[in-house]
Amino acid sequence: MDLNRRGVVNYALLPISGFFYVLSKIRKALYRLGIFRVNQFDIPIVVVGNITVGGSGKTPVVIKLVEYLQQQGKKVGVVSRGYGGSHESGSLLVDSNSNPTVSGDEPLLIATQTGVAVMVNKNRSEAVTDLLKQQALDVIISDDGLQHYGMGRSIEVVVVDGNRRFGNNFYLPAGPLRESQAKLKQVDFVINNGSTFPGEIPAKLMPVSFVHLLSGKEFSLDYFKGQYCHGAAGIGDPDRFFNTLDGLGVKVKRHAFMDHYQYQANDLKFEDNHPIIMTAKDWVKCKKFANEQMFYLKVDLEISENFLNKLLAKL
C-alpha cells in the first residue's frame, strides 16, 4: 500500500481509534477505582512493555535484565503471553526444548539464552501465580504486559523504538498507539532502543559474533565481510537487522518475513549455497531443520550500568 493510500485509510479509521481511546481510559479508571481487581504478589514484578504495537526491542531488554539480576544473585523468572504460539489456555512452562509453534518464539528465546523458568499464559496474573507455585523466586519480569493492569507490578519499564517512535501518533487501529504518550511520564524508566531522546535511557543492540546453528561455533564479525549471504528476519523491524549486516560488510540479499513467523524448511531453501544469516529470534524456530549454511547474529544490549543499578535499588 502506497503512503498516500495508507494515510487515507488511517484517517478513515480515526472514529474507531477514538472509541479505542475512550475504552482504554474507562478500563484504566475501573482498575484505579478498584472495580476491576488488581492481583498483588509477595515478590517484585517488573513489567517491560511499550505503548505501541509492533516490535520495539522489549525482549532484548528482558534478557539483559534477567542476566544482570542473575549476576546480582537474584533468582529470576519470566512471564509472557507467548504471542505467535498456539498455546491457548492455562499456563505453559517453557524451557530450551519447548516447541516454538506452541510456546511462541520470544519465550523460547528467553528460556534458551538465560536458562530461567518462563511461564506462558494469556492471563499474566495466572502466569505469575503458577510460576510462583513451581519456583522459589526473588523477582519476576513480565515480557510485555504494560496494559495488563490486572497484574500488580513494582516497576514499569517502557521501551521505545528510537527510530519509529510513535508513528503517526494515532491510536489503534489508525495508528500504533495502545495508550497515551502521557504514560511515559508515569512509568519508572523509559528506554530508547536505537537512538537518543531527552529523558530517555539510550540503549543499542550491538553485534557480538556469528554463531553456526549446527555446531554452536562462534565466528568474528568480519567473517562474512565482502561475501554474498542471504539474510532472514521475522521480526518487527527487519530492515534494522539487514542494515546491521550491511554495516558489517555483508553483501546481503534480504528476505523479510512477518513478525513471529513460523518457519518451514522450504522457506530457507535457495538455489545457491550462500550462507544464511538470521536473528536469534529466528534461530530458535529454525533449529529443528538447521543445515550447514545457517548462522545467526548474536547480539548484546548496550545500556548504562547506572540504569541497571537504579532498577536494582528499586527492587
CATH fold for the domain made of 3-203+303-314: Rossmann fold (3.40.50)
Quick one: pLDDT at residue 84? 87
Q: Which residues of 286-303 are buried (b: 16+ CB within 10 A; e: fewer)?
A: beeebeebbbbbbbebeb
Q: Under 8 Å CB-to-CB from 23, ≥6 apart: which residues?
A: none
For the segment 157-195, what is each residue's pLDDT rounded down to a tens digit?
999 999 899 999 998 889 999 999 999 999 999 999 999
The answer to whether residue 1 scores a pLDDT higher than 80 is no
Quick one: pLDDT at residue 12? 81
Percent of the chain's residues with pLDDT above 70? 97
Quick one: pLDDT at residue 111? 97
For the segment 234-276, what is each residue's pLDDT rounded down to a tens digit?
998 899 999 999 999 999 999 999 999 999 999 999 999 999 9
> Using N-to-C axis directions, what is the helix angle for 105-114 and 58-71, rounded to 10°?
20
Grid coordinates standing for 97?
526444548
- Average of per-residue pLDDT across 48-76: 95
C-alpha torsion sign, points 52, 56, 62, 64: negative
The answer to whether residue 206 scores a pLDDT higher than 90 is yes
Q: Using CA atoms, how far apart are residues 302 and 273, in angstroms rounded to an integer?
A: 34
- Average of per-residue pLDDT across 67-78: 98
Q: Using CA atoms, how far apart are residues 194 and 51, in angstroms rounded to an integer?
A: 17
Q: Using CA atoms, how far apart are residues 15 and 27, in angstroms rounded to an integer?
A: 18
For the segment 2-21, what is each residue's pLDDT rounded down to a tens digit?
545 556 667 788 889 888 88
The answer to whether residue 42 scores a pLDDT higher than 70 is yes
For the segment 108-160, what is each residue's pLDDT rounded down to a tens digit?
999 999 999 999 999 999 999 999 999 999 999 999 999 999 999 999 999 99
Q: State the pTM of this model.
A: 0.92
The answer to whether residue 231 scores a pLDDT higher than 90 is yes
Quick one: pLDDT at residue 236? 86
Mean confidence (pLDDT) of the chain = 94
